[in-house]
Structure 1
């Protein structure tokens, strides 16, 4: 008989989702919500985020979806581990829908910024400002690619009958996840070098 309640937690260490569910990610997200993505004085490659209300609201909505995702995922994990009673399936579906929503909002935000960069390209710009705009455009394009790969996986994990849910072979799911992860590692490295 499997352990119940909090006795199930140590045995779930092999489950990476279980380990991550124990990590306090919400505090990190709150820091992002208060800081980088919400800072009204932030200027990146000549595009002031607060100048465009659409970018601002897409960022806020994405943060809300992220903030709601983690408690839902934690409840799903806790129900699977028998720490709480209840059906984990509904919590997994809700957390996956919130994940997909966050990804769609992130894609829309990046596409909006790309359009702004293209529209606001000055005719007489310094080489440094053009370089910053190119770097920012590349970063936003990579964000779109990574979010699209994750979105494909998010839809795959929804219940059968929703778009292409459950239809990808395991190797393709792994390829999408690997692609997204490699993009994230590249962006982290390139962001530190820029």
Structure 2
């Protein structure tokens, strides 16, 4: 029990870990905010309010996320350390989209809290722009992850081939195989999590754009909850590994 409590404290000690917990709470409540045979209307309204408040809190915490993103983009530069120009281009485009997302997100936040007075038409346009940048960011990041996953899968296949022809010792090959399998599992989870995020992001677009506006609210809640739980699992694994070392 004490170990679990300590692990949870380690999880929420960082902004990233805390956001993952809040994400699960937000979207789980969103699932429960749809009235049905087991959830009464009054309780559904309470879950809706809870989900809305947590979502607003997450948006508020994002107000200070732009500086780390800008510093990372400056360090990344033109991606000269990447293996090829296409990966470098993907990286640069991702950084540009991420940087542009934050001022748009701030405008939406200011408008939601009536600090910036916008009519409904303008507010709706900024919300759409916000969703577009969010969707592009997730798509570009997923593309980078998929390319990296493919390259590592090829490297793992080559390792197994070298072991078969005896170019490496069995002990070394076995250790490398275990590390490769562990990495592949975690990377597979990353691909699944980001795929869920892409489905979620595109669903926030207006109707007529891919599947925008076509997914029911409770289904969006399920998608967001699953993504959040996968993110928590990966973060917990990372914490445990860091403690071992």
In the superposition, the TM-score normalised over structure 2's length comes to 0.61
Range moving further from structure 2, 168-177 or 14-23: 14-23
Moved over 6 A (4+): none
Say whether 1:67 aligns with 2:99. Answer: yes
Say whether 1:27 aligns with 2:74. Answer: no
Q: Using CA pairs below 8 Å that are at least 6 residues apart, which structure has the higher relative contact order?
A: 2
Unaligned runs of 5+ in 1: 1-13, 40-48
Instruction: State how 1:30-109 maps to structure 2 within 5 Å.
Output: 30-33=70-73, 38=76, 50-86=82-118, 87-109=122-144
Q: Determine if contact 2:146/2:191 at 8 Å carries over to the other structure.
A: yes
Secondary structure at the aligned position of 1:51 is classed as coil
The structure with more helix, counted as a fraction of residues: 2
| Greater radius of gyration (CA) | 2
> Per-residue deviation at 1:82?
2.1
Instruction: State how 1:1-194 maps to structure 2 within 5 Å.
Output: 15-23=53-61, 24-33=64-73, 38=76, 50-86=82-118, 87-121=122-156, 122=159, 123-124=162-163, 126=172, 127-194=174-241
In the superposition, the TM-score normalised over structure 1's length comes to 0.76
Q: Determine if contact 2:60/2:109 at 8 Å carries over to the other structure.
A: no
Q: Determine if contact 1:77/1:88 at 8 Å carries over to the other structure.
A: no
Unaligned runs of 5+ in 2: 1-51
Secondary structure at the aligned position of 1:85 is classed as coil
Range moving further from structure 2, 178-187 or 116-125: 116-125
Size of the aligned set, in residue pairs, is 171
Q: Determine if contact 2:196/2:227 at 8 Å carries over to the other structure.
A: yes
Q: Determine if contact 1:110/1:141 at 8 Å carries over to the other structure.
A: no
